Structure 1
Amino acid sequence: TARFTQVAPNGAVTLVTARLERPGRMRFQYDPPSPLLLVAGHGFVLFSDTQLGQTTNIPIGQTPLGILLAPRIDLLGGGLRIKNKHRLPGELQLTLVRGANPGEGSLTLTFATDPLNLRHWTVTDAQQQRTTVTLRDVRLGGTFDPSLFEPNAPSVNPSRGGGAG
């Protein structure tokens, strides 16, 4: 479980509670007043906007999030390619693309180097729109109620957690 700040391509800032269970399962519960919910499971990413009454399903393998939700992030195989690598004091930044479909977008991971841990990521979609996520309050380990990764799962109060994390 983690809390994060998301900066959308239009500059809008939203607070989000994230639950990630690899492989392939994720839930981003956006804080009110945002009407957004992002759920990954069963091979798809579901993006729901309750305000507009719209839901979009995309095969997880066709999104940059598919890289993050893979059973293992394999930089030496598995179809990934390191597009860019930058070292800064105390920081390592890797931009990953799928070798077969680099036009689908990229995922840039930024790590603190001592100790090595993920600080933030930027998803660049096929239209070159960037969304940046900055992590905080990260809790590793544990499992979640599988129903959290179903499209129709109810909202979960971030303070209650909805499972270990």
Structure 2
Amino acid sequence: MALYPARPPAYITPMVTCLIRAALAAALILPLCFAPDSVRAQDEGREITLSAKQKTLVRRVETYLNGITTLQSTFFQQASTNEFAEGQIFLSRPGKMRIEYKAPNPILIVATGEFLSYIDKELKNVTHIPVDDTPAAFLLNGNIRFDPKRVAFYEAAEEDGAVFLTVGERADPFAGRLTLIFRTNPMSLRKWSVVDAQGTITDIVLTDPFYGGQIDPKLFTVPEFEQTRSGD
């Protein structure tokens, strides 16, 4: 069943106001140790106080994420509602991102700095959302930091060659949660899982991520369709 969002989907607005939401089919693509994260994201119910070891792990994640300049990858996305989609993601930090879903899904998402644009190519309509009001703000920021004053931690663990970090918004613990999954040796972001305020889980897997390459700046151009701004 394909994803056909009629409005900006949940992963653009609520999240753990921390990161993008877009994509997966993990159990089919990554090793077994990456398969259970949807369940993990559901099960991690209580906020934790980070131990010294866990704080070091969080710093490792921050250092790794801040080291990402560009990323391009195909992705698969699957929700617990049995919705499925696939496409391509392009990231150029700071500030730029493109998520393009594979046809026949008409959705294109482009961040160019101040705004994130949600484009329906079929309806030829563009909706602009302030980047700071979206999960994308976290990843597009020039300095990524999990500030304990703003971020609640629910899991920080390293096991079986993988790192798992689950976070949420401290100001709104019911907004949702984000689980980031990394491979180690070398460290590489491979997957993330988002649980929104309604309890819907969306898993995303990057199938062939390439970091540090050149990306055509034209990919971050927003089509000139009929345009509106969120809240208008």
Q: Give the TM-score taking structure 1 as reference length.
A: 0.76
Q: Aligned residue for 1:37?
A: 108
- For the pair 1:49 / 2:125, whether they are aligned, the reply is no
Q: Deviations over 1:76-133 (max 9, x none)?
A: 4684443332443222211233444555543321011232211101234454443221
Q: In structure 2, do the counterparts of structure 1 residues 136 and 65 end up closer, same or farther at CA, with 3 Å as the change threshold?
A: same
Task: Give 1:53 deviation, angstroms.
Answer: 4.6
Gaps in structure 1 of 5+ consecutive residues: 154-165
Other-structure match for 2:208: 137
Correspondence 1:62 to 2:133: yes
Q: 1:103 to 1:45 in 2, by over 3 A?
A: farther
| Structure 2 partner of 1:122 | 193
Match of 1:163 in 2: none
Consecutive unaligned residues of structure 2, counting only runs of 5 or more, are 1-71, 225-232
In terms of Rg, which structure is larger?
2
Does 24-33 or 115-124 show the bigger shift? 115-124
Distance, in Å, in 2 between the alignment partners of 1:19 and 1:106 is 23
What is the CA–CA distance in structure 1 between the aligned matches of 2:118 and 2:194, rounded to whole Å?
Answer: 15
1:2 to 73, 91, 97: 73
RMSD: 2.6
- Correspondence for 2:164 among 90, 93, 112: 93
Q: TM-score, normalised by structure 2?
A: 0.56
Aligned length: 153
SS at match of 1:148: helix
Describe the shift of the 1:46–1:78 C-alpha distance in structure 2 as closer, same or farther (beyond 3 A): farther
Match of 1:150 among 221, 224, 231: 221
Give the share of equivalent positions with the same residue, in percent. 35
- How far is the alpha carbon of 1:27 from its aligned partner? 0.4
Contact 2:117 2:128 in 1 (8 A): yes
Q: Amino acid of the residue matched to residue 93 of structure 1?
A: F
Deviation larger for 75-84 or 60-69: 75-84
Greater fraction strand:
1
Whether the 8 Å contact between 2:86 and 2:101 is mirrored in structure 1 is yes
Pairing partner for 2:154 from 73, 76, 83:
83
- The correspondence for 2:86, drawn from 7, 12, 15, is 15
